[in-house]
Amino acid sequence: MGDPILQVQWEKDGPVEEFCGYSWCAGSCKLPALVIPALPGNTNVFPELKSYSDMVAHGPLMAPWRLKWTGTKREVPPEYREDFRARWWL
């Protein structure tokens, strides 16, 4: 299994940021969760999604929450959301 820390570099020479990638963490790791916000009015169909690391072994990078998050969050910038929704760990 992979590491529960998800590293993201938004720009080619930009800094690498770290986010919680553990699917069963509630925020105790002190890393922010990287999320795509729910669509207003459609939260049952399009809920908020959290990024998970390759520890999921096989599945989407962005998935619904498995438990209530108590830590901080950072939203995926709008221009990357479609790309993040399409990514899978294989």
Q: How many domains does the chain have?
A: 1
pLDDT at 3: 62
**For residue 75, what pLDDT is reported?**
97
Q: What is the pTM of this model?
A: 0.87
Ranges of H-type helices in 2-89: 81-86
> Phi, psi (5° rounding) for residue 71?
-90, -170
Q: What is the pLDDT along the chain (90 residues), one digit of tens a residue?
A: 456 899 999 999 999 999 999 988 999 999 999 999 998 877 777 799 999 987 777 889 999 998 999 999 999 999 999 999 999 988
CA 75 → CA 1, 2, 25, 70, distances in Å? 26, 23, 18, 15
Domain containing residue 57 = 5-89
Position 1 scores a pLDDT of 44
